[in-house]
Chain A
């Protein structure tokens, strides 16, 4: 395989802002989003509906909403995505970065065989059909599909959701990408199947040194499998911390509120505390800190400025009054 050294990050999003429409009707979607994924690193992107987590992940492949205006930089494996042309983007998606989604059925053509799907990317890269076919069998074996020779001749509807997600993962890794974007890849699966798919992703990632951006609404899952986690709220990053530290010392009031709102099977049965109101998107968030109208710690100054990320213990947090500060 080709080695592409020379850049240490699989993904580097720096100060990404995104808006659609113009003038009076402009709708902001993301603001000042910075996300980094090192080679071989697993990074979580956590948030509720409308937080912008999927948009952020998609921006890495240059998949932006129609008519979007951007600021900042998105660099994937050394390629400047936002200024890349069509050909360059196609090359990027074909060889250096892959994405898997929540519903594997939506990413496969239902009337084409699994074998066609798996060899498509390889043949597009100029590999001979026979070699591509061999590689497809090899990939299916790697993701734990029994009897790959029979599997390549089957259609998507002949697989269960968990098995099909394996096939999609095989396809995503067929080109040995440097970056894998996984957008809620286990949300539609049963809990025991989720463990299998996560184990598989982690194994393959380790074997190939792929950087993975794992987008999820599930804090427990992110904390358990990610080296670092970013928490998003209303189109901005509000906290960045080590995966394991997320539970021990949540720094942002939103992160803490999310943990308190989640029932848990561990420890003593605890009361859960709901967060008032509903998750906001950037466009309908209040001025200043977007979380302030739902925040138990909000003070007058929270309305004045959008807090930037600053260090707080082991984490980075965008809050004027983070947990643990003298109150």
Chain B
């Protein structure tokens, strides 16, 4: 039995009197893909940000590759970043607007693996090719790329240092359907080829079904259901999971009944 690459135990995060994340635990095995499903205020993004070291938990532990993740100290942060990378909904905010995409993709390579400029250039070319970006796109500024191309660039940059875990926070939510499908199939291929693990944070159950094996459903900071993604979708146990499923439009959909169910659940 192999060890989980990422292990989260009893995570709690409070902001003042608000408890955003309330006793969340899960394990992620190498090569596995875990979905975190929830609506706004569920605590799913706060959980993701704790994993990436962007927030410090109030209590609880995050263990990365057998060692506790610490957000203090340059060395510890560097090790953590080498193991776990995060991709956001809008990659535009995470690229330096004055640098070409290739320069941005190269930067983490210089920080983490060093090597000669020629080696790095070769690796950048390889990465861009892997995510389906042309050399011309690599020489462009972020603003000259489409949303889908920018998301590809963000994936290339995150993959450069060969992390074990990729945390994707609503990473395809802002994309057109046809582009979203391109990114989802790309992510699927990358995982099969490299054995990387995903934590995929999303409100979209259909997308989560496609890209994950297991999932947790969060509501008001707590995990209300967990299990294999396919089982959760076919035989939801928690009324909130059922409500989420019923909220997805389909032929014969009755939004009035869904609204009634939601009020009953909130009461």
Residues of A within 8 A of B (CB): 48-49, 190-196, 198-200, 202-203, 217-221, 223-225, 244, 247, 257-258, 261-266, 269, 272-275, 278-279
Contacts and interface: CB of A to CB of B under 8 A. Distances in A.
B205 A224 contact: no
Nearest to B39: A190
A244 B256 contact: no
A266 B203 CA distance: 16
Nearest to B203: A191
Given A244-B251, A272-B185, A273-B181, 6 more contacts: A49-B176, A190-B39, A194-B255, A217-B177, A258-B177, A263-B207
Contacts of B258: 192, 195-196, 199
Interface stretch (B21-29, B87-95, B98-106, B240-248): B240-248
Contacts of A48: 176-178
Contacts of A191: 39, 203, 244, 247-248
Given A262-B177, A263-B209, A196 B255 contact: yes
Contact of B178 (A224, A265, A266, A274): A274
A278 B178 contact: yes
B176 A269 contact: no
The residue in B185, B205, B255, B256 that gathers the most chain A C-beta atoms within 10 A of its C-beta is B255
A195 B259 contact: yes
Contacts of A275: 178, 181-182
Contacts of B245: 265
A198 B255 contact: yes
19 contacts: A190-B40, A192-B244, A195-B259, A196-B262, A199-B259, A200-B259, A202-B255, A217-B176, A225-B253, A261-B177, A261-B180, A261-B181, A262-B206, A263-B184, A263-B207, A265-B248, A272-B184, A272-B185, A278-B178
Contacts of B259: 195-196, 199-200
Interface residues of B, dominant DSSP:
helix
A225 B249 CA distance: 8
A192 B146 contact: no
The residue in A225, A257, A261 that gathers the most chain B C-beta atoms within 10 A of its C-beta is A261
**Closest 6 pairs between A and B when the two form their complex, measured CB to CB:** A224-B249, A261-B181, A195-B258, A199-B255, A274-B181, A275-B178
The residue in A192, A221, A279 that gathers the most chain B C-beta atoms within 10 A of its C-beta is A192
Contacts of B249: 198, 218, 220-221, 223-225
B60 interface: no
B207 to A, nearest CB: 6
Interface residues of B, number: 37
Contacts, number: 110
B177 A219 contact: yes
Given A262-B206, A263-B210, A247 B244 contact: no
Contacts of B205: 265
A116 B247 CA distance: 33
Contacts of B176: 48-49, 217, 278-279
B179 interface: yes
The residue in A217, A225, A265, A266 that gathers the most chain B C-beta atoms within 10 A of its C-beta is A265
Interface in B167-216: 176-182, 184-185, 203, 205-207, 209-210
Contacts of A266: 250
Contacts of B182: 274-275
Nearest to B206: A263
Contacts of A264: 206, 209
Nearest to B184: A272
B247 A278 contact: no
Contacts of B225: none
B224 interface: no
Contacts of A269: 209-210, 230
A221 B176 CA distance: 15
